[in-house]
Amino acid sequence: MRITGEQRRRRLVAHQLALGVDLPGRRAAVSPEDVTDRLVALHATDAPSVHLAVLARVPGLTVDDVRAALFERRSLVKVLGMRRTMFVVPRSVVPVVHAGASLTVAARLRTRLLKELATLPTDPPVADPGALLEAAQAQVRAVLAEHGPLDGAELARAAPLLRTAFLPTTDKVWDVRRTLTSPLLSLLSAQGDVVRGEPRGAWSSPRHVWSLMSDWFPDGIPVLDEDAARTELARSWLAAFGPATVADLKWWTGWNLGQTRRALADLDLREVEVDVGPLGGDAVVVDGVMLRGPEGDGGLEGLDDPAVDAVVEQHVALLPTLDPTVMGWTARDWYLGPHRPLLFDSAGNAGATVWWQGRVVGAWTALPDGEVVWRILEDVGTDARAAVAAEAARLTGLLGGVGFTPGYVTPLYRELRATG
């Protein structure tokens, strides 16, 4: 069975972008929890992206709706998981990500941190890296238990071992004095000891607080078998992102090839051919997989419905930096086309993108006053440009005069911010 690029783009619109409308076999999403569940996880490294990813998919939702799900209901939780990346996942998925991805990440972070403490110059000198690391973790837990949520700077003042500094070893501009605070909090997050909480100030602020995970899960994160968790994570990802390649899943999870294959081995899969070539270019067909049953085959069988036609033909979206759809696959030409150099930074991080009919056609940003500005990179016609302008105006209204600066700067972002 061969899945064309056009079929993949139609499924992308129906199952990942146009979530606020009813479609055959799928009810409309009505909450931030619905959106996150459909996408498995939302990227949360860049503070505004979680809110913006939700607002792009369900027009009736607001920034306050997302905040309530994150910090009042706590039905969505920030976890350090796949690829050592901060994600937001549904509360029920936390144990799956913890066992299937986070624990492996934590082991790697611990090994790296111990090596740095043993080999790099520090202030003050560290005689026993293992003892220092255990004492610093205990200090953070004790401070949070006594004082409640604190940001990184407040933690460093209350837990003096966090002020242990790594000293520069070269004259490179990036090689600067850095403290133990950030890497230790990453380790504690991956271990499931702490959780990233609400930002200080505006919703888009990168200055967030940390809490003990026990404040969110009083009985601890439920323990799952790691292999079973990986299989469940693979199933959820394929339901949202399939049909796809094994390489796509391996990249998204950060697993090695053996772990990826073992996770897929316990699923009921159909082997397919998927086109990863760009729109308008030659087909590039590679081996892929999809789930059997309603989550897999059913998602394709409904794509020829007239209701899907109507949605796809007029669909526009302004997706944020590191959006889960933009970053969902490692082979991206089938929805990204030739625009990668302008829309990604040198490390492979996606900037904010403009979408039309299931493919990337431009970029956007918000100015300091909250006005959304955009640029189209190809001829999409007057109807598409009008739809983008209307979506930009809608998003400007939702931002309420509050702009933000993304954490990842792309070439086109610089141009947009300079010209307004």
Per residue in 241-280, pLDDT tens?
A: 999 999 999 999 999 999 999 999 999 999 999 999 998 8
Q: Pull the structure tokens for residue 153.
A: 């700077």
Q: Report all structural domains of the chain as residue ranges with CATH numbers, in order of start.
A: 100-197+205-216 (1.10.10)
Residues pairing with 375 in the sheet: 363
Distance of alpha carbon 133 from alpha carbon 193, whole angstroms: 14
**Can you tell me the mean pLDDT for 153-159?**
97
Question: Which residues have a Cβ under 8 Å from the Cβ of 68 and sit 6 or more positions away?
Answer: none
**Can you tell me the mean pLDDT for 323-334?**
97
Q: Which of 43, 19, 49 is nearest to 352 (CA)?
A: 49
Per residue in 169-205, pLDDT tens?
A: 999 999 999 999 999 999 999 999 999 999 998 899 9
297 has a pLDDT exceeding 60: no
Query: For residue 210, how far is the Cα from the chain centroid?
Result: 19
Q: Pull the structure tokens for residue 297.
A: 């085959």
Distance of alpha carbon 410 from alpha carbon 403, whole angstroms: 17
DSSP symbols for 148-215? --EEHHHHHHH-GGGG-EEPP-S--TT---EESHHHHHHHHHHHTSEEEEEESSSTT-S-EEEEEHHH
- φ/ψ of 273, rounded to 5, equals -110, 135
Q: What is the CA radius of gyration of the chain?
A: 22
Q: What is the pTM of this model?
A: 0.95
- Please report the pLDDT score of residue 293 as a whole number: 75
Per residue in 378-417, pLDDT tens?
A: 999 999 999 999 999 999 999 999 888 888 889 888 888 8
- What are the Cα distances from residue 125, in Å, to 120, 121, 176? 9, 7, 17
Reported confidence tier of residue 300, pLDDT bands at 50, 70, 90: low
299 has a pLDDT exceeding 60: no
Query: What percentage of the chain has pLDDT greater than the value 70?
Result: 98
Distance of alpha carbon 27 from alpha carbon 14, whole angstroms: 11
Average pLDDT in the chain:
94
**Can you tell me the mean pLDDT for 80-94?**
98
DSSP symbols for 15-66? III-TTS-BTTBPPP-SHHHHHHHHS-EE-SSTTHHHHHHHHH-TT--HHHH
Angle at 240 between CA 326 and CA 37, to 5 degrees: 95
Q: Pull the structure tokens for residue 155.
A: 């933690």
**Can you tell me the mean pLDDT for 156-165?**
98
Question: Which residues have a Cβ under 8 Å from the Cβ of 310 and sit 6 or more positions away?
Answer: none
Helices (H) and strands (E) in the chain, counts: 19, 16
HEC profile of 84-98: HCEEEEEHHHHHHHH
- Please report the pLDDT score of residue 420 as a whole number: 65
Reported confidence tier of residue 298, pLDDT bands at 50, 70, 90: very low
**Can you tell me the mean pLDDT for 357-369?**
95
- φ/ψ of 89, rounded to 5, equals -130, 160
Amino acid at 192: G
Residues pairing with 212 in the sheet: 194
Reported confidence tier of residue 168, pLDDT bands at 50, 70, 90: very high
